[in-house]
Chain A
Amino acid sequence: MTSNKAPSELRNRARQRWSRWLDQRIPLSRSVELGHRSIFIVPTSTGLIFTVLLLVLLVTAINYQNSLIYGVCFWLFSMAMGGMYFTFRNLKGLTLSAREAVPCFAGEAVDIPVRLDAAPKRSHLALWMNYPDPEDDSPPKVISVANGIETEALLGFRTHQRGRLRPGRLKLETRFPLGLYRAWSYVDLEVGSLVYPTPEYTPYIFATGDDDQGDLEGATLDASGDQDFRGLRPYQPGDSLKQIAWKQMARGKGLVSKDFDSDQGASCWLDWSNLGGDIETRLSRMCGWILNAHEEGLLYGVRMPGLTAAPEHSETHLRRCLQHLALYGEAASDSVMTEGGA
């Protein structure tokens, strides 16, 4: 074990230097146009085999004094030389820009939409894109950007931490057209999106509101949150898909919604001080509470450092609370972020 330590440390240091160098060369940005500073190119192993082919052809041509084989050999050689240009050009001028991803919870996989704009009058073919993940060797996405048409690629990324989505560098590679060279770039795109804490579902401990009750207010206690079926009523715009009585619809009776008896409308306070554990655990549990309360249709208020939100039930409210959880402890979020995803 000890013998492995030194090389791995060396490797780490090398990796750090490499990433520092990359940061200087291709800095974090919302949109990157690939140019000669950001594209790297080397021959592939296929390219090496091709070199062997060329040598065999050359020896055959010399030994048999055959002009046509000389011709084939030189033609292929020149084509391979020019191929470098074609491979490089396949990335050059391509503009990548990040789009907002749908917010997700830490630990979940998220599809990050990356927009690709072709250089004027160019197409960029057979691009392999992914966010490299050592734990996941699923194949990269293969994208072609046709001349003048913007294309969007959805790149999978497994999140690990709550906060702003920081997927790191995405890898964009191409071997088109000959497969003899590999041109690639690592692009660090700023994805305007949030990762909420992983929810941990624990029983509520309702906090006292203004009137010190520490319980649900205005709820019929015997219903205790179970959503008992009450009857059918005509569909109203805004009813969720879950509420629609599909069986009735199938019988041709039109859109009818099921009405439930529930805790809907009950209000409560969720308080940071009622949570145990370290900050991350508390954030996870708070997240679980909020999600449950929202799901059950409660009017919930949240009280935690930096946020006191009066009881309410709405998507905006939910989002605001989750956003606060996601960015908890980070510098105050700037305006661009708070508008996100509306």
Chain B
Amino acid sequence: MNQLPRSALLWLLAALVLALLPHSTHLPWGFALLGVLVIGWRWQMHRGRLPYPGKVTKAIAVALACLGIAVAFRNQFSLESATAFFVTASLLKLLEMKARRDGYLVVFLSYFLLSVGFLFEQGLLQALYGIAVMWVITAALVSLQLLNSGQQSFSIASRYSVGMLAAALPLMLVFYLFFPRMSPLWSMTLQSNKAITGLSGEMSPGDIASLSRSDELAFRVTYDDGIKPEREDLYWRGLVLDRFDGRTWRFSKNDRSVEWFPKVYQPAPDNTEARFYEIIQEPTAQHWLFTLKHGSALERHIGLTSTGLLVSRRPVHQRKRYKGVTDPYNPVLTSLNQFQRRHNLALPSDSNPRARSWAAEQFAQAAGPGAFIQGVLRHFNQQDYYYTLNPLELGADDIDAFLFDTRQGFCAHYAGALVFMARSVGIPARVVAGYQGGEWNESEKYLTVRQFDAHAWTELWIDGQGWVRVDPTAAVAPERIEFGLEAALQEEQSFLQGNLLSPHRFRGISWLNSIRMELDTLNYLWHRWVLSYDRDRQKSVLGNLLNSTSYKDMLMWLAGGIVVLFLVMGVLLVWRRPAQTASPLLKQWLKLQQAAAPLNLQQSPGDTSRNWLKRLSDQVPELQSPLMAVADRMDKLLYLQPEIPESETTSLIKEMKRLTRQVQRQARRVAAQKN
């Protein structure tokens, strides 16, 4: 009774394997081996070729598995190692799965592992895959109830699984929309330690170049007004790198203070110049967010730094949606204090002597800081400087080597060199890292920014104007700013080199490109409407939809959903299907029986009509002969049917109709006598 039904085993194995498959991307290959081993073992047990493992075997297996996890993850406690633990536990559970109870546990673990898989991957394809796996796991759950095996129970399990999942969709939707989305109950220290492609907190000359070889998504932007922005304005500020050690630019917290929402500048409601946008950013595991210039923090847990950047209170471990603004009325810094000035002028004392002396020479000739910078940019533009993804190796004093020897560099080289020279002549300067540009999707009006849009530029302090953006790359390779990286690297043919299959390499082929854009649109809609449906999005959607955003209303909707479900279930249960239409003969027969109801003659199952008619005629002897005649005719009709003409049936029915009236009269009389 409480044994695991044999037919369920196949479903259970399939459910667990399918729930585990997505984990293969972030678990070491040893776990695949473990999976194959355990499932093969369990299958042999099912076929009776291997016995169930004893206590000692199980203990050894558990010990080995724990050791394996500890070794594979070097005792690190991360989302991956915790997942590995669950995966191993559920695999080992298979070995001792004997009772129906164990089957339930495996089913629940499968549901859980499938969900944990969504912590790592949340694409549209993964979601579709998840739906299929939900079906298999639910079928496994159903099959645990079915004892008989074979084709029939297989089809019952799969049919009921589909039916129940489909029936659950309406209520699920109500809950998805109306269940109040909360901020995390506690901060999760358990996070993935997978390496994430993206900006890092420091910049050596080659860093951004290597980032530019990736076509991974960085973030998507939707403008509230839907108007395509100018490419030249799309400098997405991520980090300010203001500390230089002779080779690497780093970001520092010395020079910045953070003001958190809502104690930060907010555009006035009647401000028509402000452009609002919404960013859906991929996880970076870092605190920084992205913003255009003159931005501000518009949501909780987001702050604006004194350097004009957005930061999140918690590292962005999950895809994050937030609003941004670019507002020309946002007051900018107008003066640097002593400390800030010194910080933005600091240079290691003895590096790159050639660059220093050349800059000093230029500065002496120029009419002021502005003219000096123009001069440097003109120098970059007119001399044979090259913009390349594959610059030559640079040794010590790399700015010297770049400026005067190789003259080949990527944005980081030019930005670094410009800031260095500016600082050396006393102009406060800093490197800004972020992304520049992006791809505009005309059909859904959004901007996609990918890793190859990563960029570095500079900001120089001009007294009276404040921080002024200067992009030396624009002087060397104006195409990079106007058309993007691909155009800038057209001669070199190095765009997405080593990423041969990237769909972005085929932008030139129009039909391929349009397919790529369609897919991207799909992904965008998925990210925007499903994945980033968080607290604020919920508020705005429900606000638009129902003009109400209070928790009380949401709970009312949830309760309403459940009440409606119960009503529907109740109606379905009370509603009777109409009985199958009976043949005229059967109808007349039932009428006859009803007529005799006062005599209390029940026809038990297996009782023939002749038997019943005989009992009836015992009670009403006056009608004995016609009743027995009907019995004869019915027997003939029911058991010799093919040879009886249709007219016989109708005449029998007529006869029975007559008899019914008589029986009714007699039955009443007899019943009255009895009382």
The answer on a CB contact under 8 Å between B145 and A78 is no
The answer on a CB contact under 8 Å between B168 and A78 is yes
The contact size tier of chain B is 35 or more
| A 84-108 binary contact with B (CB < 8 Å = 1; else 0) | 1110110011000101000000000
Q: Report the separation of the CA atoms of residues A68 and B182 in the bound assembly, to the nearest whole angstrom.
A: 15
Least Cβ distance of A145 to chain B in Å?
A: 12
Q: Quick check: is B138 within 8 A (CB to CB) of the other chain?
A: yes
The answer on a CB contact under 8 Å between B144 and A179 is yes
| B 90-134 binary contact with A (CB < 8 Å = 1; else 0) | 000000000011001100100110111011001000110010001
Select which of A30, A71, A97 is within 8 A of B172 by beta carbon. A71
| A 218-262 binary contact with B (CB < 8 Å = 1; else 0) | 000000000000000000000000000000000000000000000
The answer on a CB contact under 8 Å between A68 and B130 is yes
The answer on a CB contact under 8 Å between A30 and B145 is no
Q: Quick check: is A142 within 8 A (CB to CB) of the other chain?
A: yes
Q: Quick check: is A56 within 8 A (CB to CB) of the other chain?
A: yes
Instruction: Given A79-B138, A85-B573, answer yes or no on A140-B1 (Cβ-Cβ < 8 Å).
Output: yes
Select which of A64, A85, A142 is within 8 A of B572 by beta carbon. A85
Q: Quick check: is B629 within 8 A (CB to CB) of the other chain?
A: no
The answer on a CB contact under 8 Å between A64 and B318 is yes
The answer on a CB contact under 8 Å between B111 and A99 is no
Q: Quick check: is A63 within 8 A (CB to CB) of the other chain?
A: yes
In the complex formed, the residue of A with least CB distance to B105 is: A49
Least Cβ distance of B383 to chain A in Å?
A: 51
Interface of chain B: mostly helix, strand, loop or mixed: helix
Q: Quick check: is B565 within 8 A (CB to CB) of the other chain?
A: yes
The answer on a CB contact under 8 Å between B171 and A82 is yes
For residues 536 through 578 of chain B, which have their beta carbon under 8 Å from a beta carbon of chain A? 562, 565, 569, 572-574, 576-577
The answer on a CB contact under 8 Å between A88 and B171 is no
Give the chain A neighbours of B138 by CB distance below 8 A: 79
Give the chain A neighbours of B167 by CB distance below 8 A: 79, 82, 85
The contact size tier of chain A is 35 or more
A75, A128, A176, A179 — which one has the most chain B CB atoms within 10 A of its CB? Answer: A75
Q: Report the separation of the CA atoms of residues A75 and B602 in the bound assembly, to the nearest whole angstrom.
A: 49
Interface of chain A: mostly helix, strand, loop or mixed: helix
The answer on a CB contact under 8 Å between B130 and A125 is no
Q: Which of A8-16, A115-123, A201-209, A281-289 lies at the interface?
A: A115-123
In the complex formed, the residue of B with least CB distance to A31 is: B605
Give the chain A neighbours of B186 by CB distance below 8 A: 63
Least Cβ distance of B234 to chain A in Å?
A: 27
Give the chain A neighbours of B182 by CB distance below 8 A: 62
In the complex formed, the residue of B with least CB distance to A54 is: B111
Q: Quick check: is A279 within 8 A (CB to CB) of the other chain?
A: no
Q: Quick check: is B59 within 8 A (CB to CB) of the other chain?
A: no
Instruction: Given A79-B164, A86-B160, A179-B145, answer yes or no on A59-B185 (Cβ-Cβ < 8 Å).
Output: yes
Least Cβ distance of A307 to chain B in Å?
A: 24
The answer on a CB contact under 8 Å between A115 and B573 is no
For residues 336 through 353 of chain B, which have their beta carbon under 8 Å from a beta carbon of chain A? none
Q: Quick check: is B147 within 8 A (CB to CB) of the other chain?
A: yes
Instruction: Given A66-B118, A69-B118, A99-B606, answer yes or no on A175-B164 (Cβ-Cβ < 8 Å).
Output: no
| A 155-190 binary contact with B (CB < 8 Å = 1; else 0) | 000000000000000000001111100000000000
Q: Quick check: is B63 within 8 A (CB to CB) of the other chain?
A: no
The answer on a CB contact under 8 Å between B115 and A60 is yes
The answer on a CB contact under 8 Å between B108 and A50 is yes
B115, B181, B576 — which one has the most chain A CB atoms within 10 A of its CB? Answer: B115
The answer on a CB contact under 8 Å between A53 and B108 is yes
Give the chain A neighbours of B261 by CB distance below 8 A: none
Select which of B114, B115, B185 is within 8 A of A62 by beta carbon. B185
A83, A125, A176 — which one has the most chain B CB atoms within 10 A of its CB? Answer: A125
| B 402-426 binary contact with A (CB < 8 Å = 1; else 0) | 0000000000000000000000000
B184, B580, B602, B604 — which one has the most chain A CB atoms within 10 A of its CB? Answer: B604
A78, A81, A178 — which one has the most chain B CB atoms within 10 A of its CB? Answer: A78
Give the chain A neighbours of B565 by CB distance below 8 A: 78, 81-82
Least Cβ distance of B517 to chain A in Å?
A: 24
Select which of B112, B119, B532 is within 8 A of A53 by beta carbon. B112
Q: Report the separation of the CA atoms of residues A46 and B111 in the bound assembly, to the nearest whole angstrom.
A: 14
Q: Report the separation of the CA atoms of residues A82 and B163 in the bound assembly, to the nearest whole angstrom.
A: 10
Give the chain B neighbours of A82 by CB distance below 8 A: 164, 167-168, 171, 565, 569
Q: Quick check: is A67 within 8 A (CB to CB) of the other chain?
A: yes
The answer on a CB contact under 8 Å between B531 and A68 is yes
Give the chain B neighbours of A30 by CB distance below 8 A: 602, 604
Q: Report the separation of the CA atoms of residues A119 and B111 in the bound assembly, to the nearest whole angstrom.
A: 34
Q: Quick check: is A149 within 8 A (CB to CB) of the other chain?
A: no
Select which of B100, B119, B147, B569 is within 8 A of A66 by beta carbon. B119
The answer on a CB contact under 8 Å between A72 and B118 is yes
| B 157-185 binary contact with A (CB < 8 Å = 1; else 0) | 00010011101111110011001011011
Q: Quick check: is A272 within 8 A (CB to CB) of the other chain?
A: no
B172, B184, B565 — which one has the most chain A CB atoms within 10 A of its CB? Answer: B172
The answer on a CB contact under 8 Å between B119 and A89 is no
Q: Report the separation of the CA atoms of residues A56 and B112 in the bound assembly, to the nearest whole angstrom.
A: 9
Give the chain A neighbours of B168 by CB distance below 8 A: 75-76, 78-79, 81-82
Task: Rank and list the top 8 A-B pairs by shortest CB-CB distance, nearest first.
Answer: A78-B168, A139-B1, A78-B171, A74-B175, A79-B168, A68-B118, A85-B569, A78-B172
What are some 7 contacts across the A-B interface (CB < 8 A)?
Answer: A46-B101, A67-B533, A83-B164, A89-B573, A120-B577, A128-B1, A176-B145
